[in-house]
Structure 1
Amino acid sequence: MQEYLSYFGWLFLPPLATSFLQRTYYGIFYSNNPPHPQSHKFRKHYKRIYTVVVISYLVYTIFEAIWSIQPNFYEILGVKKEFEAKTLKTHFRRLQLQYHPDKNPDAEAQATFILIRKAYDTLMDPVQRFAYDRFGPEIIKCDHCKTTREFLANGWSDFGAFYTSTCLFMLVVNFLGKGQFGRFWRFVAFFGVACMEASMILHPKSTSGSFISMILRNMPIFEQIIVLRRLCIAMFLALSHVGPIWFPSEIVDIRQELQRLELLSKFAEQEASALLVDGFEPFRKDTAAQIMLKRKMEMYEVNSRLNSHSEFKGMYNNVRQRLITNKQRNR
């Protein structure tokens, strides 16, 4: 829950922090004549301060994700990921003597001893260690999981739940108008990260040379995945904020243009109807004039159809040319 609250902070904190910093900056350096909000200088300052705020919040989000991770079983027992069984037993016995209830009656020491025992049992069991490295301590609570396949099947449910909820979150952000910049490539990168995480779970050695694995090589895979997820979403949100400011879109909203065109067409239709009514107004009460107008309109329709026919036009031109020729001869 805390993770998603920090993501929603992206929607409100950068604009608020930028406005506050810009007012403070103008109060110090432009106290007598601050730039007008519609001026080019004001927009330039806002863009730069906004970018600094977003990058700072991005860095904070990444480090906060790393600092908020609880000590893993390797750190609790004081061993490396590639430990030897003898080394693990030595560290466990030393901690056991320090926190065993018979040696240390403190309630906190008793809770620490239970955690140490759980860490030792998990790392000594190859199947549980496999599941712990990939999915974290929650996966060990699965009572019906006994084999590697059962642990994997249970871990994939968390994988699917996270990426489904995150995809819905990104759609909500787009609906709010905050994720239009680079929308296509953001979703491509999102599914790429999902594939990378699946590869880290199934084939850790294939991703050992990746940026995340190299930077966080001392962390188990599930902790690397936690940082990767937070980094992925934080980068998406940061680009959604900074991108439209530095690269404003010049694409015209076609829906507004279509609505404007529809209004103009309705207006033109109303004007045409009004002109037609006004044009036929003198014939409304004159029956003889109506009959004459009807005949003329019928003749006009007949002539229009005949003139649109290619054969008739050819015959008409020939007859017209003969009449002109005979007229010239008679002269």
Structure 2
Amino acid sequence: MDWDFGQQMLFWTFVPSMATKFLQKQYYNYRSSRKPPTPSEAQFHYSVIYVLVVVLYLIYSFVQVERSLPPTYYDFLDVSRNCDARDLRSQFRQMSLLYHPDKLQSLPESERVLHETRYLQIRQAYDILKEPIKRAAYDKYGLTSHDCQRCATEREYLMKALPNFLTFYGGSTVFLVILSILGTLNFGRYWRFVGLLSMGCFEAKILSSGPSSTALHVLRTLLPWRTLHEQIIMLHQLFVVVFIAVSQLGPILFPEDKRTVKQMMLELENLTNLQLKESTRSFRSAFEPFARDPVAVADVQKRMEKLAVDLQLLEGNADLTVAAGKAQMRISKRK
């Protein structure tokens, strides 16, 4: 986790709430002719504006992440990511003629230094991209592949890039554990770990798979103007942005029930007592016609006792239940 992550955390902590309060104030100033909002209406307006601000800021972060990527060897040569060897060689020759040190003697010292630096970048880029194995490794692992001078196979480049993979996911896991212990960004805590694990498995799959894998094809389709390494960098940064945004939106869209267990038990007890009172009232109203007729009361009591005995017998004997059902069907047919 670098300074960019800390900067994103800082922005996401303050910018959405400040922007929401400002926009809400401007909205109320615009509709000043209407009656002032009630506290519940103000809270609803704040939630709606806050969600819009976070979504827009999330979209802005996506664009910012894509545009803030550093230049690559393809950018130095001004070629596309899928250019072939002939186009690469032709472009290198043109740019070499343009930036070669022998043609810069008449330029001022400062410009000559800049052009010489550019020429070295172009030369280095061409030396890497003209070799198919080095180019494939650069597309997958970025400058890490350039640091491995003795690597000659895909496996060796993969082992060279493995420490960076473990460092990112190990550091991210430790950071999420610390956030969980401190109680920060509690919403979606479980799904952040699931998302990090899923992203790690996906990245391991695309780094260890061949050029014709489905995962690589999907990424090339989504962002054909970026190398695989650039797409992985974007994936890392967007994961951070998305989980912060979810932590911001979650409590607004799905507010937690802040009642304690004791409060919920009291509410359950009150509902139970209310249900009992309603049942008693219904029972009394049902038997009210028999209250002043002792003969009817005795008859109803006798029938209820018989019904209770029958139910008890039927519940304890499955065969008797089946026989009683058949007898009831025969009686109904006779009627």
* TM surpasses 0.5: yes
Q: List aligned pairs for 1:20-169, cutoff 5 A.
A: 20-30=22-32, 34-35=36-37, 39-105=39-105, 106-143=112-149, 145-169=151-175
Identity of aligned residues (%): 34
**Cα offset, 1:175, TM superposition:** 4.4
TM-score for the superposition, normalised by structure 2: 0.68
Picking from 240, 244, 249, the partner of 1:233 is 240
3-state SS in 2 of match to 1:208: helix
How far does residue 108 in structure 1 lie from its aligned partner after superposition? 1.0
Which whole-Å CA distance do the structure 2 matches of 1:246 and 1:87 have between them?
52
Tell me the alpha carbon deviations over residues 206-235 of structure 1, each in whole angstroms, 9 at most, x when there is no partner: 21343x442212211001111122222212
Question: In the TM superposition, what whole-angstrom CA distance separates every residue of 1:39-75 from its partner, at most 9, and x where no partner exists?
Answer: 1101111101110111111111111111001222223
Contact persistence 2:158–2:208 (CA under 8 A): no
Seen in structure 2, the aligned counterparts of structure 1 residues 56 and 175 have a Cα distance that, compared at 3 Å, is: farther
Question: Mean Cα displacement is larger for which, 14-23 or 167-176?
Answer: 167-176
* Equivalent position of 2:216 in the other structure: 208
CA distance, structure 2, for counterparts of residue 174 and residue 41 of structure 1? 33
**Any idea what SS the aligned residue of 2:11 has?**
helix
Deviations 1:111-130 (A, max 9, x none): 11010011101112233222
TM-score, normalised on structure 1? 0.69
Q: Structure 1, unaligned stretches of length 5 or more? A: 258-331
CA RMSD of aligned residues (A): 2.4
CA distance in 1, matches of 2:182, 2:13: 10
SS in 2 for 1:102: helix
User: What is the CA-CA distance between 1:97 and the residue it aligns to?
Assistant: 0.3
AA aligned opposite 2:29: G
The alpha-carbon deviation at position 178 of structure 1 amounts to 4.2
Report how many residues are paired: 253
Distance 2:223 2:191 in 1: 26
Distance 2:53 2:204 in 1: 33
- 1:80 counterpart SS class: coil
Counterpart Cα distance in 1 of 2:58 and 2:254: 19
- Please say if residues 178 and 240 of structure 1, whose CA atoms lie closer than 8 Å, have aligned partners that are also in contact: no
